[in-house]
Amino acid sequence: MIRDLRVQCQDENTSLAPYAVKNSESQGRVYPEEQHPFRTDFQRDRDRILHSKAFRRLEHKTQVFLSGSGDHMRTRLTHTIEVAAISRTMARSLYLNEDLAETISLAHDLGHTPFGHAGERALNKIMASHGGFDHNLQALRIVDHLEIKYPSYDGINLTWEVRAGLVKHREAGKTKLNGKILPLHQSLEAQIADLADDLTYYGHDLDDGFDSGLISSEMLKGMAVWERAVERVKETGLAEAGAERFESYAIRCLIDNMVRDAICYSDKLLTEQNPANSGIVRELDRKLISFSPEYEKETLELRDFLYKNLYFHPKLERLNGMSLSRMSALFEAYTRNPEEMGNSAIKRIETDGLYRAAADYIAGMTDVFAQKEFTRICGLLI
């Protein structure tokens, strides 16, 4: 007996909530394709992302700390895998489409630059008078145009639902997809991927901060979201097990607490609103996947702590300054001498313009390649 596409679609229709996105409801692809006998459209999208060059490059793009900072520091790839795992848990718990939530999660960081958060800020500053740079819109640009896999069109021809899920709320009302402005809110599965991204980096950047020695658990004392996690650690008897074991388990509890809160509060919102289908979800004036108000306040407090004590730590600020100078040097070199870019970037100058082609080329680099290019071309600026 084979669990083919027909059986899987039947299972979706009977097991998922009415407001979940089903494969049979998909708005399809820009370039129509025959359906696969054993995989849904969202499963195929997931596999296309996993096999893309942009996804493989995430292994060598860092999250906060630059390459070489430590063997255990997170990369964009490890972060992406962690977000996808949490998204599946949340979607499964709420009777939503796990495949769609996972696929959006796997693609959400494809547009990130080299050199972590600092790299994006630098490229956005450089591109300020040329349309700016946003990693979410760049992810959409990658899957629609820059990734080359098929003989008759650019991009990897993902479904509308996955592509729409890559656009954040602040960009949705002014971003067109298939010629139409996107609604402010996307599917519940996209909302899950968005929230999972936030709570994952809250916890895991904290973990990397501990490993780096830039922050300590002592600095978090009195912070509500941290104290909740500490209480769970104490219940296990691990409170006196040593700093490393204590901090590691506390972060595990912190993330789990946030996931539990998001699932329970989202279920409350869904029960109250009870949207009849996935289309109505996009028409609502608010998100239905959310932390409770209490946890929302507490997680924002943690975010503010990370910005103050980690992301803008003097040690990282020096690295941030280096990132800006490197990105600026690369951009100046490529716009002055376009032939220094790769062939695909050179070909796009005619259709996309020199500045956007240069930004695409730089954004696609890994930390290591960007550093090598900086070393190679810095002589051009003398």
What CATH number has the domain bearing residue 309?
Answer: 1.10.3210.10
Phi, psi for residue 356 in degrees, rounded to 5: -70, -40
Into how many domains does the chain fold? 1
Residue 67: predicted pLDDT: 45
Q: How far, in Å, CA of 344 to CA of 358, rounded? A: 11
Tell me, yes or no, whether 293 lies in a domain.
Answer: yes
CA dihedral 19, 135, 102, 189 (to 10 degrees): -10
Is 254 exposed, middle or buried, given 0-12, 13-18 or 19+ CB atoms closer than 10 A?
buried
Examine residue 195 and state whether it is found in any structural domain, yes or no.
Answer: yes
Full-model pTM: 0.93
Can you say whether the dihedral through the CA atoms of 92, 139, 368, 306 is positive or negative?
Answer: negative
14 inside domain = no
pLDDT of residue 379: 57
For 304, counting Cβ atoms within 10 Å of its Cβ (0-12 exposed, 13-18 middle, 19+ buried), the class is: exposed
Domain-located, residue 287: yes
- Domain containing 295 equals 25-381
How many C-beta atoms surround the C-beta of residue 336 within 10 A? 13
CA distance 55 to 59: 8
Strand extents, DSSP E, 44-185: 176-177, 180-181
Answer yes or no: is 211 within a domain. yes
CA–CA gap between residue 4 and residue 35 (Å, rounded): 11
Beta bridge mates, 177: 180
224 in a structural domain: yes
Q: Which pLDDT value is given to residue 171?
A: 67
Query: Which two three-digit tokens encode residue 160?
Result: 């509308």
- Which pLDDT does position 278 carry in this prediction? 95
Contact 133, 227 (CB under 8 A): no
Show contacts of 62-65: CB within 8 Å, 24+ apart.
62/114, 62/115, 62/116, 62/367, 63/116, 63/117, 63/201, 63/204, 63/205, 63/208, 64/116, 64/117, 64/205, 64/208, 64/209, 64/310, 64/311, 64/316, 65/116, 65/208, 65/212, 65/316, 65/319
Domain-located, residue 284 = yes
Question: Per residue of the chain (382 residues), what is the pLDDT tens digit?
Answer: 899 999 999 999 999 999 999 999 999 999 999 999 999 999 999 999 999 999 999 999 987 655 445 455 788 999 999 999 999 999 999 999 999 999 999 999 999 999 888 888 889 999 999 999 999 999 999 999 999 988 889 999 999 999 999 997 566 667 888 888 888 889 999 999 999 999 998 998 898 889 888 999 999 999 999 999 999 998 887 666 677 788 889 999 999 999 999 999 999 999 999 999 999 999 998 999 999 999 999 999 999 999 999 888 888 777 777 888 898 999 999 999 999 999 999 999 999 999 999 999 999 999 999 999 999 987 544 4
Token pair belonging to 136:
């979410």
- C-alpha span between 88 and 366 (Å, rounded): 28
Residue 11 domain-assigned (yes or no) = no
